[in-house]
Structure 1
Amino acid sequence: MKKAKSILIVLLISANFAFGQKFEAETATLAGGAAKQASSSASGGYYVAQGEGNLTFNLNFAEAATYNIYIQVASPNGYKANNLIVDGTSITFATNQNSNYIKLKAVSFLKLAAGAHKVEITKSWGWINIDYIEFEKVDPATKFDINKKLVTPNPSSEAASLYQFLYDNYGKKIISGVMDMKESNWLKTNTGKSPALVGFDFLFCGRNYSWYNENTPYNETKALYDKNGIPAFCWHWRDPSRKTEEFYTEKTTFDISKISDETSDEYKAMISDIDYISGMLKKFQDNKIPILWRPLHEAAGGWFWWGAKGAAPCKKLWQVMFDRMVNFHGLHNLIWVWTREPNDDAWYPGDEYVDIVGRDIYKEGDHSSQILEFNDMTSRYGGKKMVTISESGSFPDVDNLIADGAGWSWFMPWTGDFTRLAKYNSLDLWKKMFASDYVLTLDEMPNLKTYTSTSMIGEKSNDFKIFPTYFDETINIHSAKKIQEVTVFNQLGISVKAIKPKADNLVVSLAAFPSGLYLVKIDENEAVKVFKR
């Protein structure tokens, strides 16, 4: 069927405001069937029924600032997922069924320069009612407060050292990764370098497959860790009842809700599988190998059986698994990674059960920094959890990561085509990533068995704080005592600025210097890295 042409009316809105400015949906450019509707319950007396259409706001900001973006939205037709796009960078937001309007935070800590910006709400599922969008100015200095301790009581020294390494590099470098050793070997052959992190899967373990060697995960992991690589495990957990060999919801009827019934066969089957995998993880612990442990991934998507019955049983299963592995089996070598999906706040196991939060992002050919996702996750967990791209199709280009200040801990494209095909990630992009000082590769890794830093977890790292790590013109320095001297070095180690403030709080301007990496040295302390956009 030939589609009718849409006539678009572009609206330019001046956004010279101080706080909480609203932009009514009916004033946006509407296309594809989105329609203005009258309603006494809507702000301004109108809303936009999205249908299968899109909305475009063309905004103009008088000054640079950092914002949270909210959408006043109703979803009378059930759960819907749609896209918010700011200057070409998108994030998915989801709404549960609700005939009344709710104010949904869609974007957090987004830095916008002065000038023109395009904000779009586009159809994924469509069929929501949009009242307005709102921009709220926020202080970027409140963005991070990363936990310095693991959630596992008395973690192994190896797990603590690995977490310390992640903590020390968070926002300063990104760790390169790939799923599966065969992809790591392929990258070594084709680029001359190997990623620092490799993903593994307990997919075939504990199923008595005659063709599978149960020692493979351990052997490959030990070989990687002996080279100072980082092992990350997920678990495509096949039907615990053994009635099928499947893990997809549509292919098994296994009932996760029985996790609350300790007398049920399903509960006993889940515990049996957890015990088996715990035995494999115990072998790693006995050989002093820490593991990034990412079970029950993508739960809120619903496509795996552990997400088939909603939030409560999945959350319960995570907590049961944590207790069983940590307290019953005595596993202290695990760093627990939760994989977020849109609109999954009710699924989150809790801060006391999660060390790091990941996001699996599959957007073919999209090499943007995913800054909207990064900021949303940072804000959603109170800036306390490091966040990471735990899986991806296409991964972000390093230039975009640095330019936007998207400080993901690591990235890890999935195996096969996602690693090797140019439509996802070209070989030239892999080489560019591996050549960047911002990207850590295997040959650049320290000895993780003995890794320490000047800021060990749980201890005060310095008597001063420098922020933000990514800046445009100025950095702030707060100190517990008066600072005698501040020296700034460029990437070549050449001093480009020196001041003697004799103050405990100061703002240092680097506006005159070009973009790039700088080292800031406070008195006799070790230099701290910052990046000028």
Structure 2
Amino acid sequence: MKIIDTNLSLSDKKSTIETIILYKKLQKLTQKGFLFGHQDDLAYGVNWKYEDHRSDIKDIVGDYPAIYGWDIAGIENDKSNNIDGVPFDKMKQYIKEANERGGISTISWHFDNPATGKNAWDNAPNSLKTILPGEKNNEKFTSWLDKAANFFLSLKDKKGKNIPILFRPYHELTGGWFWWGKGNGTQEEFKAAWKFTFDYLQKKGVHNLIYIYNTSSFSSKEDYLANYPGDNYVDILSFDSYQNGDDKSGEKFIAEVQHQLKIINEIAIEKHKLIAVAEAGYEAIPDSKWWTGTLTKAIGDSKISYVLLWRNHGWQEKEQKMHYYVPYSGQMSEKDFIDFYNLDKTLFEKDIKKELN
């Protein structure tokens, strides 16, 4: 069994006590298993929306996920709802409710392209450079960070303490599909953007964030670290990986996840960081044994902190297909998910409640 790394410490040297405690608990929990997460879990599921205390996962296993994923895209434009239609007021409520039960929230940000005014997927070349100090969109981007800072600082528990958040900015950075991604700026520009974001949020008094460095696919240690801003700016190393329809057996997915976990685990040991699979899934889960077969096999014995499955949107009118990543009552992998839930190494909210309170 891996020994606890006593050199692990948060990159924000002014982190709140609650944030430090959470980080240490996350490390401790890797010895027991991995936390299971789900995007937008409390907000909606297949065929329902905004029903108090409901969750597709809870409907099946009588327990909530340990990790709750959220996205604050839209906050930069003063929208009342995020990119997926979740009202920010409700998101705050859900984060507070989860925290009271011992659950943990992670936040990503599909922010618009500040150079074009279009969405995050508008990967116009050289957009990233424009947000750096002295460049034409730095002021605009700084105003966006002000709004994010206000949101983070508004997340308080009943004692008035700031709720710790796992923050995953500039996610899937090795893919070219977002304006901050590969090919849309230099490695040095990316590092500068990350450091500016980190330093500015601290300047605004935000000290309740655990920072997650996140890529999509990569092939080597050098590839993974190409845009890495430095050990003093990152707390968790992660990547996103999805099984696709052309990989029905899951063999490609298993091989890729295992290969990538081996690489980032080596880096994590060297750099004294935690690791995670920050997004994963198989859309509509057309494999009745996917949970105990494919996903469990992909993670193997790696000491990951958590794995987060993407959202349960349900029917997508535009695409004319179902879009969900965890089972709901009656879905074909429901029974296997219960078996997955009952594994010793899968940690849900009830499993961590005593540890995190």
2:315 equivalent in structure 1: none
Residue 311 (structure 2) pairs with residue 415 (structure 1) = yes
SS where residue 68 of structure 2 aligns?
strand
Answering whether residue 103 of structure 2 is matched by residue 237 of structure 1, we say no
The separation in 1 between residues aligned to 2:57 and 2:344, in whole angstroms, is: 18
Q: Equivalent residues in 2 for 1:275-286 (5 A)?
A: 275-284=146-155
* Matched position secondary structure for 1:376: helix
What letter is aligned with 1:246? N
1:173–1:407 contact (8 Å) kept in structure 2: yes
Task: Indicate the SS of the match to 1:389.
Answer: strand
In the alignment, the residues of structure 1 paired with residue 233 and residue 80 of structure 2 have an alpha-carbon distance, to the nearest angstrom, of: 35
Instruction: Measure, in 2, the Cα distance between the counterparts of 1:166 and 1:189.
Output: 26
Contact map agreement 1:162 1:448 (CA 8 A) in 2:
no
Contact in 2 for aligned 1:161/1:448 (Cα 8 Å): no
* Unaligned ranges ≥5, structure 1: 1-139, 451-533
Distance 1:383 1:429 in 2: 36
Distance in 2 between residues matched to 1:186 and 1:319, nearest whole Å: 37
Q: Structure 1's 175 and 421: CA in aligned 2 closer, same or farther, altered over 3 A?
A: closer
- Matching residue within 234, 246, 252 for 1:354: 234
Separation in 1 of the partners of 2:5 and 2:274? 9
2:205 paired residue number:
330
Q: 2:191 aligns with which of 315, 334, 355?
A: 315
Describe the shift of the 1:347–1:254 C-alpha distance in structure 2 as closer, same or farther (beyond 3 A).
closer
CA contact (8 A) 2:76 2:111 kept: no
**Which structure is higher in helix share?**
2
Cα distance in 1 between the residues matched to 2:201 and 2:340: 36
Q: 1:154-201, CA deviations, whole angstroms, 9 ceiling, x for partnerless residues? A: 311111111111111114311111111235701111332221111000
Instruction: Tell me the amino acid that sits aligned with residue 275 of structure 2.
Output: V
Displacement of 1:440 in angstroms is 1.1
Contact 1:158 1:449 in 2 (8 A): no
- Counterpart of 2:335 in structure 1 is 428
Q: Aligned equivalents of 1:202 and 1:325: distance in 2?
A: 15
Q: Distance in 1 between matches of 2:10 and 2:332?
A: 33
Number of residue equivalences:
304
Deviations 1:289-320 (A, max 9, x none): 10001111011212111122132211111100
User: Equivalent pairs: percent with the same residue?
Assistant: 23
Shift of 1:282: 1.1
**Where does structure 2 lack aligned partners over 5 or more consecutive residues?**
46-53, 283-289, 313-322
More deviation, 144-153/288-297? 144-153
1:444 aligns with 2:351: yes
| 1:362 CA displacement | 0.9
Counterpart contact for 1:378–1:384, Cα < 8 Å: no
Residues 383 and 173 (structure 1), Cα distance of their counterparts in 2 relative to 1, 3 Å cut: farther
C-alpha distance in structure 1 between counterparts of 2:296 and 2:125, whole Å: 46
Q: Is the CA contact (8 Å cut-off) linking 1:233 and 1:294 kept in structure 2?
A: yes
Q: Secondary structure of 2:88's partner?
A: coil
Summarize the alignment of residues 122-521 of structure 1 with structure 2, pairs less than 5 Å apart. 145=5, 147-181=7-41, 182-183=44-45, 185-209=55-79, 213-241=87-115, 243-250=116-123, 252=124, 255-262=127-134, 264-284=135-155, 287-307=161-181, 308-326=184-202, 328-341=203-216, 342=218, 343-364=223-244, 366=250, 368=254, 370-381=257-268, 382=270, 384-394=272-282, 397=292, 400=297, 404-416=300-312, 417-420=323-326, 426-447=333-354, 450=357
For residue 531 of structure 1, what is the aligned residue in structure 2?
none
Deviations 1:420-475 (A, max 9, x none): 469x992233212211121111122235664xxxxxxxxxxxxxxxxxxxxxxxxx
Amino acid in the other structure paired with 1:329: K
Which digits, 9 at most, give the CA deviation of each residue in 1:262-298, with x for residues without a partner?
2x33111111111110110111255431000111101
- Whether the 8 Å CA contact 2:340–2:346 is kept in 1: the answer is yes
Structure 2 counterpart of 1:218, one-letter code: K
Cα gap change, 1:377/1:276 in structure 2, threshold over 3 Å: closer, same or farther?
Answer: same
Larger radius of gyration: 1
Distance in 1 (alpha carbons) for counterparts of 2:303 and 2:147: 36
Pair 306,399 (structure 1): closer, same or farther in 2 beyond 3 Å: closer
Contact 1:236-1:247 within 8 A present in 2 as well: yes
RMSD of aligned Cα (Å): 2.9
More RCO (CA 8 Å, sep 6+): 2
User: Residue 246 of structure 1 aligns to a residue in which SS?
Assistant: coil
TM-score (normalizing by structure 1): 0.52
Are the counterparts in 2 of residues 336 and 356 from structure 1 also a CA contact under 8 Å? yes
Q: TM-score, normalised by structure 2?
A: 0.76
Residue number in structure 1 paired with 2:316: none
Letter of the 1:311 counterpart? Q
SS in 2 for 1:150: coil
Residue pairs, 1:57-72, within 5 angstroms: none
More strand by share: 1
CA distance in 1, matches of 2:332, 2:211: 28
Going from structure 1 to structure 2, the CA distance change for 1:234 and 1:425 (only over 3 Å counts) comes to farther
CA contact (8 A) 1:292 1:337 kept: yes
